[in-house]
Amino acid sequence: MTSTTTAQSGTSPRPLEGLRVVDLTVINGELCPRLLCDLGAEVIKVEPPEGSAARSWAPVRKGVSLSFAVNNAGKLGVALDLANSDDLAKLHELLDHADVVVTSSAEVAPGLSVQAVAENHPHLVVAALTPYGLTGPWSGRVVTDEVLSATGGMTFKAGTLDREPLPAPSQFSNDVAASVATWAVMCALWQREQTGAGQLLDVSLNESLLQCADWSLPNYTARVLAGNDFPEFRAGSGPVYPIFKCRDGYVRLIVLSPPQWREMRAWLGEPEYLQDEEYDTFPGRFAIADAILNPLYEELFAELSVEEVSAKAQERGIVCTPVYDAPRALSNEHFTSRGTFQSMEVAPGVTAQMPSGYFEFNGNRVGPKTPPPAVGQHNDQVFASLGEKRTASTRPAPSLPLSGLRVMDFGQGAVGVEAGRLFGAYGADVIKIETRSHYDFIRVVTGTEMGPSFASSSRSKRALGVNAKFPEGRQLLLDLVKESDVVIENVTTGAMDALGIGYSDLSAANPGVAMVA
């Protein structure tokens, strides 16, 4: 899947270099091909001669859709009238020389279905990113991002009980779903490496979003099956991740594990009435949150700045971060040091700050290097350099794409364990690694070793209990990594290195291992 075309420049090749993606999306799912572009694929945005409808999608500044600019930066631009037979033939020629086509419709052209494209171009990964999928009574419905937020389970729980439910802002729902679609495309490409055949991906944006709607569904199901009521519930920022006002803004505070609570209690001055062991558990603290704990936090933070509260909490190992508005995010020293944002001319005479890419590979940030294309800007360039036609093997029987991979999952809470879940769901052997002296805190947040949230995020995994603080435990993990392909961790920065199982240690044992931190 990769090439070494960048070796001469001294930078590492991006994972998808050498692959070509044809992008036929319009608004829905546009972030998916952009992410594939960030990862090194050549992405060709195909629009009608008058330009995509997404070019006028709000917000628009100085005649430029900022949404279109961000989602299409780095791509090449081709203009084709797909109702015209000559231009349709050009599209088929382009598909003959491509690896992936991504569309946000059941048809890629009038009368040309995605099923027909997959049949006529068996080498292609054809990703159809539609609101509700290609089949079912809702398959033809047209939606906005606010509708996706509603039917994907995000809106109903947001806001407060005295008001109507609150949809996720802007294109949040669409972009989350497009990220899931990107994962599906990557899995299909990985499988094509083994089989030589493409496939049709029926990606429902609604279902993709629903899969990411935190743990509301498993917790709801567990309560109902246990015979308990599950009343309508909306509590602003929520009971788990509450937001508190400081002198000059807001912070979000997360106190879940017993060590975090003990540090928080010490910060409060060790009040005698908070020493009960029951408060070491999240359910115990939840019972007194509104009446006792939240007012104490508000009083503690009231005279401190956002940055002071965050710094003092982090020093104690407590997860607490600022709630930034756009100006503060753009000027934040940490983002600046990492090059999180870049200045890019998104149209002639229009320059804006935009994300510089969402990943780093071997210390190199990967993101767009060129602004979004003008309509048809690269027609001549693209069709003059198509290269060789792609070929396909006979399509095999369906199978899980990641079978044969082994993943060591050191994840904590949500991010790492959810990444491990995705690998497990698509066939990888995922080994969940923890120890009773240092649980994955989401396992025990409800007071048992198997709460609904943990069960949801850790399904399809195997479990290994090992303590890396002991030499025998560390050696066991170094032996296991020799037989593994991927390591996932989202623990405190430096913690893996301190245990002797950081990337340098693991890659010394297995130079081919990929570590996601």
Q: Is the pLDDT of residue 135 over 90?
A: yes
Whose structure tokens read 């572009």? 37
**Please, what are the domains in the chain?**
15-211+340-382 (3.40.50.10540), 216-245+250-322 (3.30.1540), 406-516 (3.40.50.10540)
First-to-last C-alpha distance (Å) of the chain? 22
The conformation of residue 438, written as its DSSP 8-state character, comes to B
48 band by pLDDT with thresholds 50, 70 and 90: very high
Range in 157-171, 182-196, 210-224, 332-346 with the lowest mean pLDDT:
210-224
Q: How many CB atoms lie within 10 A of CB 369?
A: 13
Helix, strand, coil fractions of the chain, as percent rounded to 5: 40, 20, 45
* Residue 112: Cβ-neighbour burial (10 angstroms; 0-12, 13-18, 19+): middle
**Average pLDDT over the chain, rounded to an integer:** 91
213 band by pLDDT with thresholds 50, 70 and 90: low
Q: Is the pLDDT of residue 414 over 60?
A: yes
State the Cα torsion 502-507-513-517 to the nearest 10°.
20
As a whole number of angstroms, the distance between CA 97 and CA 89 comes to: 13
**Mean pLDDT of the region 194-203:** 96
- The 3-class secondary structure across 321-379, one letter per residue, is EECCCHHHHHHCHHHHHHCCEEEEEEECCEEEEEECCCEEECCEEECCCCCCCCCCCCH
Answer whether 87's CB lies under 8 Å from 81's CB.
Answer: yes
Closest CA to 82 of 93, 71, 74: 93
Q: Is the pLDDT of residue 10 over 50?
A: no
pTM higher than 0.85, yes or no? yes
pLDDT tens-place string over residues 457-492:
999 999 999 999 999 999 999 999 999 999 999 988
**Mean pLDDT of the region 345-350:** 84
**Mean pLDDT of the region 145-159:** 88
pLDDT value for 247: 96
The pair phi, psi for residue 421, each rounded to 5°, is -60, -40
pLDDT tens-place string over residues 253-307:
989 888 899 999 999 999 999 999 999 988 899 999 999 999 999 999 999 999 9
Q: How far is CA 244 from the centre of its chain?
A: 26
Answer whether 354's CB lies under 8 Å from 73's CB.
Answer: yes
Residue bearing the bigger pLDDT, 448 or 510: 510
Q: Is the pLDDT of residue 2 over 50?
A: no
Q: What is the largest CA-CA distance in the chain?
A: 81
Answer whether 76's CB lies under 8 Å from 378's CB.
Answer: yes
Which amino acid is residue 491, in one-letter code?
V
Answer whether 265's CB lies under 8 Å from 300's CB.
Answer: no
86 band by pLDDT with thresholds 50, 70 and 90: very high
* Residue 253: Cβ-neighbour burial (10 angstroms; 0-12, 13-18, 19+): buried
- Report, in angstroms and rounded to the nearest whole number, the Rg of the chain calculated over CA atoms: 25
**Mean pLDDT of the region 194-211:** 94
Answer whether 244's CB lies under 8 Å from 304's CB.
Answer: no
Task: Give the containing element (helix H, strand E) for 423.
Answer: helix 415-425
